[in-house]
Amino acid sequence: MALRQKLLVLYAHSPDLNSATVAWSMYDGTGKEKHTTGDSEEPPYPSVVAAMLDGWRVIQFPQQHPAFPGMEYNTAYLKYEYILEQLEDVGA
Amino acid sequence: MPNKEDLLTTTQMAKFVADGLLRFDNVVPDELNRAALAQMEAGIERPRGGDPVQGMWQGTAIGDVVQLPQIQGIMASLVGTDPLYDHHAVHIVQPNREEGQIWHADAIIDLRTPFDIQFFYFPHDTPREMGGTMVLPGSHFRRISESDIARYQNFLGQQPMVCEAGTVMVAHHGIWHCAQPNLTDRTRYMFKLRLNPTVRQLRLWNTDDIDAPEVSSELNANHRWYGNEARLEIVNRIKLWRHLTGDEKYDLGYWLSRLENEPTAAALVA
């Protein structure tokens, strides 16, 4: 048995795991799939919970910290980034 | 000085403020496209950054593209008639390249409200299987640094520049973008030109429609990838719109006005 990790990164509308996916990435450690920028127009799952229902395990939650003073309402990176994994047996 | 009809309208300017980009299909004629493509293949002389762009590449195809009345009108509307050349690049994507470029923004080291523009000129037909450049409307206000956004792959609302020869996009310097895979057996070319304003970017366009209802509609656009931050982006747009129009009271509904209502007066108590 040789387990390899597939990562799915979902960016949610809000910290609610049921909220809509607004951006997404996929990194495949099995080597079977290649994903790159702009390779899909619709998200693989409409929400984090929808991905969980399909067997994806959430392995990282976005932490919520108070903003630095003066930066409370700046926009920069997508804040609600959930990292999910699936482990796949690629054989011996 | 460009003709008034070649300047951008207020509605177009509002769309630029909301999206961070505007697209103009088929503005460069075919013969000039072919000559410009040949010049890109041969190499384009690199002028000195900070010199006036007007007069650069005179007598060449790229120089003629820059001097097209519509290009001059776009330039004048956004950065004035005499902007400075910042840099250019001929972007080449080799045939059968399956990997897209990572998402990035170009050289953002500038926290000021005045902005540079970048022209993206596509000299040949660019069908989806050839790319072209993927852009993310509404990303230009984000305070990120170049390739720090490289973990992202897809966004709701991302737009590939799929276009016919002679199409030009003009973008705010902060726009997020990436070259897309080229699955054809032909090399893909795109010419990018960055310009810096030398004048205050104040009502440089055709303002005949300054009060048109479409202006606020454009400024209110919600790009779906914003999620919970849509309101913050609306405020970013209001601030830039005030800078561009000189109207320090401009608002969309009651956003910044709310903050400008300073409750400092002492209440009269009977």
Are A74 and B156 a contacting pair at CB < 8 A? no
The whole-angstrom separation of Cα A11 and Cα B190 is 31
> Which residues are CB-contacts of B59 (< 8 A; sequence separation ≥ 6)?
none
Are B103 and A74 a contacting pair at CB < 8 A? no
A1 lies in a domain? no
Contacts of A20 in chain B (CB under 8 A): 227
- B126 bridge partner residues: B163
Asked if the bond preceding B50 is cis, omega within 30° of 0, the reply is no
A66 lies in a domain? yes
A20 lies in a domain? yes
Question: Do A24 and A42 meet the contact criterion of CB atoms below 8 Å apart?
Answer: no
* Domain with B112 in it: 4-196
Of all residues in chain B, the percent with pLDDT exceeding 70 is: 100
Residue A34: closest CA among chain B residues belongs to which residue? B99
pLDDT of residue B110: 80
A2 lies in a domain? no
pLDDT of residue B171: 98
Average the pLDDT over each of A15-24, A67-76, B63-72, B174-183 and give the range with the smallest value: A67-76
* Closest chain B C-alpha to A52 CA, distance in angstroms: 20
Please count the structural domains in chain B.
Answer: 1
Are A76 and B227 a contacting pair at CB < 8 A? no
Average the pLDDT over each of A43-47, B68-72, B174-178, B263-267 and give the range with the smallest value: B263-267
pLDDT tens for each residue of A43-78: 999 999 999 999 999 999 999 999 999 888 899 999
pLDDT of residue B267: 75
Question: Which one of A67-71, B105-109, B150-154 scores highest in mean pLDDT?
Answer: B150-154
B172 lies in a domain? yes
* Closest chain A C-alpha to B92 CA, distance in angstroms: 17
pLDDT of residue B133: 97
A32 lies in a domain? yes
pLDDT tens for each residue of B73-90: 999 999 999 999 999 999
Q: How high is the ipTM of this complex?
A: 0.97
Of all residues in chain B, the percent with pLDDT exceeding 90 is: 90
User: At residue B11, what is the residue type?
Assistant: T
Are B158 and A24 a contacting pair at CB < 8 A? no
Nearest by CB: B153 against A25, A79, A80: A25
pTM for this structure? Answer: 0.95
Please count the structural domains in chain A.
Answer: 1
Closest CA to B100 of B139, B152, B156, B146: B152
CATH code of residue B102: 2.60.120.620
Contacts of A14 in chain B (CB under 8 A): 227-228
Are A22 and B143 a contacting pair at CB < 8 A? no
Is the pLDDT at B10 greater than 90, yes or no? yes
Question: Do B161 and B121 meet the contact criterion of CB atoms below 8 Å apart?
Answer: no
Is the pLDDT at A1 greater than 80, yes or no? yes
Q: What are phi and psi of B79, to 5 degrees?
A: -130, 10
User: At residue B164, what is the residue type?
Assistant: E
Q: Three-state SS across chain B?
A: CCCHHHCCEHHHHHHHHHHCEEEECCCCCHHHHHHHHHHHHHCCCCCCCCCECCCCCCCCHHHHHHCCHHHHHHHHHHHCCCCEEEEEEEEEECCCECCCCCCECCCCCCCCCCCCEEEEEECCCECHHHCCEEEECCCCCCCCCHHHHCCCCEECCCEECCECCCEEEEEECCCEEEECCECCCCCEEEEEEEEECCCCCCCCCEHHHCCCHHHHHHHCCCCHHHHHHHHHHHHHHHHHHHHHHCCCCCCCCCCHHHHHCCCCCCCCCC
B255 interfacial to chain A (CB closer than 8 Å):
no
* Domain with A12 in it: 7-89
Mean pLDDT confidence for B14-39? 98
Per-residue pLDDT band for B97 (boundaries 50, 70, 90) equals very high
B180 interfacial to chain A (CB closer than 8 Å):
yes
Please provide the average confidence, as pLDDT, over all residues in chain B: 95
B270 lies in a domain? no
Residues 99-158, chain B, touching A (beta carbon < 8 A): 99-103, 134, 141-144, 148-149, 151-156, 158
Per-residue pLDDT band for B270 (boundaries 50, 70, 90) equals low
Neighbouring C-beta atoms of residue B216, cutoff 10 Å: 15
